[in-house]
Amino acid sequence: MRRLGIVAALVFLLDQASKVFVVFHMGLALDQRIDVWPPYLTFRMAWNQGVNFGLFAHDADLARWLLIGVSLAISAGVAIWMARGRHRPAALVSAGLLIGGALGNALDRVLYGAVADFLNMSCCGIDNPYAFNVADVAIFAGALGLVLYTGKDKTP
């Protein structure tokens, strides 16, 4: 469980530090776009009030508090699940990634009313209109890791 906590804390801190640095220190909140390595990496400001790709953003205040509650409930559920069983180190790291990312995005919703998304990657003639953040990457990687590294045949 210590591994889970360390990974969750590191992801949370990296996510929040990257958002503060890029959005506020580099001025992305005002500039709306910073070309870092076009077209492969561009910072594009997006305040996401919904879930992935802005889904369910129509009633922003209700969605905000529901999504904060869901993030906290999932984080608690995953932590309890990991605490109750024997799991591989990779499963604990995956759980830490998911929890750290979920808490990072939940804090954004508390502080700003929306999640600060800014990473935009495009390649090979495909212009990706969507932005994401470090927490989103961690949530995706953590969920995938939990699928791959947990189950009856995957306990130590």
Give the active site residue among 15, 31, 108, 136. Answer: 136
Q: Give me the count of residues in the chain.
A: 156
Tokens at 69, concatenated: 């509650």
Exactly one of 59, 117, 127, 153 is catalytic; name it: 117
Q: Cα separations (Å) of 50 from 20, 75, 77, 114, 129?
A: 20, 18, 22, 8, 16
Active-site residue flag, 117: yes
46: helix, coil or strand? Answer: strand
The answer to whether 154 touches 91, Cβ cutoff 8 Å, is yes
**CA 133 remoteness from chain centre:** 6
127 is catalytic: no
Which active-site residues does the annotation give? Answer: 117, 136
